[in-house]
């Protein structure tokens, strides 16, 4: 039943119509059939997944109380530490590293009985928008294998859209969940900063990073969101407030009387015709459901991309200093009594890829004395202006919307030699991260010019994540009824039997 | 047009502890101008009197009781070490380096 939703799998498991072992095997078979084409996984954890599934089946047979997603398989972005399982963050510097502990997200998934199928490919240390920056080769978009699935959580997005897993975990520092969700025709949510623990999430940019859920439907995504959210004393930036009721919101989907703000700055020039057409249709749909559409002005968003590409590299240049060849990970260049410093230099040369080096150097530059105020300091002030723009916009509307990505899935290699063109892929997703609020991408249809998925982005204030699911569920229900099924059912068949 | 010379990139790479081949230094220096131009847009606005934001949430010190909690065993902590000796990380020479 790999084509079903996670909610349907959950209900079939509860009724005893299928075992978790059988469901897990079906997904492992699917991975064996199609992942040689898609390359979503870096590591398929067959034995542990089957053991975990058997344990959930035993608990169910013994009549133990189980959570709603117990026994449902999931794909995990390789940026999250899982005890004893290779965790590389897509980098050669962590090749074959096996963490001695579980990240909080993994601990919560295990406690909920969610079956972890394996670790998915990503841009190295989550730095990228196409998954081409992985140290282990790119992932291919299931809609068109000559194109990227977006990034950096491209492996997780591709796994879900290729029916290798019904749900997946990604992380989103500048759009790394929402943009690949858009490019692969699925749902992805970046929760409010601090809503999901970062303990065991390998750090790229600590003030922007946040793990979050992928699913093929809004409800599936909400069910996963609810499992991973919550306060964690192991993460000092974790919010100690009640988690938003996202599943209830996903089941409600009522936008009558709601004010929806269209951000003037996130449309127009640079946005593909088919992306804007699907976006505007979705607005009409929401309007026909009783929502009131207003336009909001966020003038500082024009500078968000520039601020992001100073703040994130600055934080990464500091965070990635921990890869020093001393305590874990790769060590090279040790011959002939080489000093610690020269071992460090040669290990970081061999272990880091091009984009990671580029961002470390840029961050080192932006933080260096003489340039600090002009670059990092100014970027931090732009961040304040973006927060203020959002605050004002949220007095005029309950949620804000835009296209998720200005373009549909691009060709492998098309932007990999041009960093600036690649950075522009995140132009509409980055403001959310800078402000620490939450955002969702859900499918809005296919662009006429290339027949590829278009994402619709919804944004809500901090810890109002339920609003994303409420609006998302309403739009999804209307679009699915118009299309006669979920968008993902229109994806072309892959090599395996579908 | 901003630019960064090959020597400036080499200095930054040394600060960041990344050895770089001549080819990498030249490539990075050639890309840096357009990247710096793109990020220098943050200087276009008058930002006088605007407060800097380092973090999206207000941060406070968080305290807990000083009690022993479970932690990694020495074997677990050393499990990923490139080299170890007597329950310690074994590292290359750090003192008395020739300069």
Per-residue pLDDT tens over the stretch A184-224: 999 999 999 999 999 999 999 999 999 999 999 999 999 99
- The Cα–Cα gap between B30 and A358 comes to 12
Q: What percent of chain A is predicted at pLDDT more than 90?
A: 95
Question: What would you report as the CA-atom Rg of chain A, rounded to the nearest whole angstrom?
Answer: 21
- Quick check: A294 pLDDT over 90? yes
Q: Would you call B57 an interface residue with chain A, using a CB distance cutoff of 8 Å?
A: yes
Rounded CA separation A118/A131 (Å):
17
Crossing angle of the two packed helices A465-483 and A273-288, in degrees rounded to 10: 100
Dihedral-angle region of residue B21 (phi above 0 means left; psi in -120 to 50 means alpha; beta otherwise): beta
Q: Give the residue numbers of A annotated as catalytic, written as ranges.
A: 77, 152, 176
> Is residue A325 less than 8 Å (CB to CB) from chain B?
yes
Dihedral (CA of A66, A67, A72, A76) sign: negative
- To test the contact with chain B by mutation, choose from A96, A325, A361 the residue with the greatest count of B C-beta atoms within 10 A, namely A361
Beta carbons of A384 and B52 less than 8 Å apart: yes
Q: What is the pLDDT of residues A143-187, one digit of tens each?
A: 999 999 999 999 999 999 999 999 999 999 999 999 999 999 999
**A-chain residues near B12 (CB < 8 A):** 361, 364-365, 368
Chain A interface disruption, residue of B39, B54, B55, most A CBs within 10 A:
B39
Question: What's the whole-number mean pLDDT along residues A222-235?
Answer: 97
CB contact, 8 Å: A140 with chain B? no
Does B41 touch chain A if contact means CB atoms closer than 8 Å? yes
Please tell me if residue B29 touches chain A, with a CB cutoff of 8 Å.
no
Question: What is the token pair recorded at A271?
Answer: 């946005």
Asked if the Cβ–Cβ distance from A344 to B17 is below 8 Å, we say yes
Would the CB atoms of A98 and B24 count as touching at under 8 Å?
no
Task: Kindly indicate the confidence band of residue B96, based on its pLDDT and cuts at 50, 70 and 90.
Answer: low
Partner-chain residue, chosen from B28, B54, B91, that has the shortest CB–CB distance to A380: B54
Long-range contacts at A336-345 (CB < 8 A, ≥ 24 apart):
A337/B92, A337/B93, A338/B92, A338/B93, A339/B92, A339/B93, A339/B94, A339/B97, A340/B91, A340/B92, A340/B93, A340/B94, A340/B97, A341/B17, A341/B94, A341/B97, A342/B92, A343/B92, A344/B17, A345/B14, A345/B17, A345/B18, A345/B19
pLDDT for residue A498 is more than 50: no
The predicted model gives A361-386 an average pLDDT of 95
Q: Who among B20, B47, B59 is closest to A381 (CB)? A: B47
- Which helix (H) or strand (E) segment holds residue A156: the answer is helix A154-161
Q: Does position A337 have pLDDT exceeding 90, yes or no?
A: no
Give me the phi and psi of A292, to 5 degrees please: -105, 125
Quote the minimal CA–CA distance from B64 to chain A in Å: 9
Find where tokens 């260049």 sit.
A333
Q: Is the minimum CB–CB distance between B50 and chain A shorter than 8 Å?
A: yes
Q: Which two tokens stand for residue A38?
A: 């898609």
Chain B residues with CB inside 8 Å of A300's CB? Answer: 45
Interface test with A, best of B6, B53, B85, B90 (most A CBs within 10 A): B53
Chain B residues with CB under 8 Å of A326 CB are 82, 89, 91
- A384/B50 touch (CB, cutoff 8 Å), yes or no: yes
How much is the average pLDDT of A484-490? 95
Helix axis angle, B6-15 relative to A354-366, nearest 10°?
90
Phi first, then psi, for residue A460 (nearest 5°) are -140, 160
Asked if B42 and A307 come within 8 Å (Cβ–Cβ), the reply is: yes
Q: What class, spelled out in words, does domain B6-43 have in CATH?
A: mainly alpha
User: Per the CB < 8 Å rule, is A317 touching B16?
Assistant: yes
Q: What is the distance in angstroms between the CA of the first residue and the CA of the last residue of chain B?
A: 37
Query: In 3-state terms, what secondary structure has residue A86?
Result: coil
CA A261 to chain centre: 24
pLDDT for A249-274, tens place per residue? 999 999 999 999 999 999 988 999 99
**B-proximal residues of A, 446-485, CB under 8 Å:** 462
- SS3 string, chain B, reads CCCCCHHHHHHHHHHCCCCCCHHHHHHHHHHHHHHHHHHHHHHCCCCCCCCCCCCCCCCCCCCCCCCCCCCCCHHHHCCCCCCEECCEECCCECCCCCC
**CA nearest neighbour of A215 among A247, A244, A239:** A247
Taking the Cβ of residue B24 and every Cβ of chain A, the question of whether any pair is shorter than 8 Å is answered with yes
B82 contacts A237? CB cut-off 8 A: no
| CA nearest to A491, candidates A149, A38, A161, A33 | A161
pLDDT at residue A421 tops 80:
yes
Q: Cα separation of A115 and B77, whole Å?
A: 26
What CATH class does A6-301+383-490 carry?
A: alpha beta
Is B22 an interface residue toward A (CB < 8 Å)? no
Domain ranges in chain A are 6-301+383-490
Taking contacts as CB-CB distances below 8 angstroms, the residues of chain A near B11 are none
User: For residue B97, what pLDDT is reported?
Assistant: 52
- Name, of A331-345, A430-444, B31-45, B51-65, the range with top average pLDDT: A430-444
Nearest CA in chain B to A205: B55
pTM equals 0.97
The pair of three-digit structure tokens given for residue B43, joined into one six-digit string: 């200087």
- Residues contacting residue A376 through CB under 8 Å, at least 6 positions apart: A310, A311, A314, A366, A367
A447 vs chain B: nearest CA distance in angstroms?
Answer: 29
Taking an 8 Å cut-off on Cβ atoms, the answer to whether B80 and A374 are in contact is: no
Among chain A residues, CA nearest to B53: A380
Report residue B62 as tokens.
């968080």
Summarize the confidence of residues A478-483 as an average pLDDT: 97
Give the gap in angstroms from C-alpha A253 to the nearest C-alpha of chain B: 29
Both structure tokens of A319 = 């965070």
What contacts A78, CB < 8 A, 6 or more positions away?
Answer: A42, A43, A86, A87, A88, A89, A90, A119, A120, A121, A122, A155
Subunit contact A339:B93, Cβ cutoff 8 A: yes
Task: Give the pLDDT band (50/70/90) at residue A497.
Answer: very low
Q: Is the pLDDT of residue A289 over 70?
A: yes
Average predicted confidence (pLDDT) for chain A:
96
- Tell me how many residue pairs between chain A and chain B have CB atoms under 8 A apart: 169
Q: Which one of B18, B42, B83 has the shortest CB-CB distance to A360?
A: B18
State whether B31 and A358 contact (CB < 8 Å): yes
Choose, out of A365, A438, A439, the residue to mutate when testing the contact with B (most B CBs < 10 Å).
A365
What is the DSSP-derived secondary structure letter of residue A461?
-
């Amino acid at each position: 039943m790999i084509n079903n939703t996670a909610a349907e799998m959950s209900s079939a498991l509860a009724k005893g119509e299928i075992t978790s072992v059988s469901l897990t095997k079906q997904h492992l078979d699917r991975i064996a059939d199609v992942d040689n084409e898609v390359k979503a996984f870096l590591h398929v954890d067959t034995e542990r997944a089957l053991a975990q599934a058997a344990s959930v089946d035993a608990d169910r047979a013994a009549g133990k109380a189980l959570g709603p997603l117990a026994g449902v398989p999931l794909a995990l972005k390789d940026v999250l530490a899982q005890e004893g399982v290779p965790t590389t963050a897509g980098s050669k510097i962590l090749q074959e590293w096996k963490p001695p502990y579980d990240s909080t997200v993994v601990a919560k998934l295990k406690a909920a009985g969610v079956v972890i199928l394996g670790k998915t490919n990503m841009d190295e240390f989550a730095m990228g928008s196409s998954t081409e920056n992985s140290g282990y080769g790119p992932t291919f978009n299931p809609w068109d294998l000559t194109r990227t699935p977006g990034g950096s959580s491209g492996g997780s997005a591709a796994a879900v859209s290729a029916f290798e897993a019904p749900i997946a975990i990604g992380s989103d520092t500048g759009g790394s969940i929402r943009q690949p969700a858009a490019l692969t025709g699925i749902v992805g949510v970046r929760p409010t900063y601090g809503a999901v623990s970062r303990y065991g999430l390998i750090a790229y940019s600590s003030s922007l990073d946040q793990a979050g859920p992928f699913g093929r439907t809004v409800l599936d995504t909400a069910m996963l969101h609810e499992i991973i959210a919550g306060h964690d004393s192991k993460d000092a930036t974790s919010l100690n407030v009640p988690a938003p009721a996202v599943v209830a919101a996903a089941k409600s989907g009522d936008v009558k009387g709601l004010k929806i703000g269209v951000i003037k700055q996130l449309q127009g020039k640079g946005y593909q015709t088919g992306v804007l057409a699907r976006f505007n249709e979705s607005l009409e749909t929401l309007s026909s459901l009783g929502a009131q559409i207003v336009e909001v002005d966020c003038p500082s968003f024009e500078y968000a991309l520039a601020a992001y590409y100073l703040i994130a590299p600055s934080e990464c240049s500091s965070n990635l200093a921990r890869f020093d060849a001393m305590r874990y990970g790769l060590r090279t260049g040790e011959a002939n009594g080489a000093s610690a410093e020269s071992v460090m230099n040669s290990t970081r040369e061999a272990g880091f890829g091009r984009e990671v080096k580029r961002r470390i150097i840029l961050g080192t530059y932006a933080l260096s004395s003489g340039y600090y105020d002009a670059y990092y300091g100014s970027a931090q002030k732009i961040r304040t202006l973006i927060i203020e723009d959002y605050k004002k916009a949220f007095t005029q509307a309950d949620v804000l919307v835009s296209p998720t990505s200005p373009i549909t899935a691009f060709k492998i290699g098309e932007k990999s030699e041009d960093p600036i063109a690649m950075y522009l892929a995140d132009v509409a997703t980055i403001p959310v991260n800078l402000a620490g609020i939450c955002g969702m991408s859900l499918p809005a249809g296919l662009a006429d010019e290339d027949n590829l998925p278009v994402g619709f982005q919804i944004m809500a204030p901090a810890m109002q994540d339920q609003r994303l699911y409420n609006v998302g569920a309403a739009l999804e229900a209307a679009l699915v009824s118009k299309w006669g099924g979920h968008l993902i059912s229109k994806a072309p068949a892959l090599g395996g039997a579908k | 047009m901003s630019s960064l010379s090959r020597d400036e990139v080499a200095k930054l790479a040394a600060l960041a502890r990344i050895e770089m081949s001549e080819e990498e230094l030249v490539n990075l220096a050639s890309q840096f101008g357009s990247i710096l131009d793109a990020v220098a847009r943050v200087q276009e606005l008058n930002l006088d009197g605007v407060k800097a934001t380092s973090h999206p949430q207000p941060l406070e010190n968080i305290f807990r009781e000083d009690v022993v909690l479970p932690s990694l065993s020495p074997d677990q902590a050393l499990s990923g070490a490139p080299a170890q000796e007597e329950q310690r990380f074994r590292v290359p020479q750090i003192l008395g380096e020739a300069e």
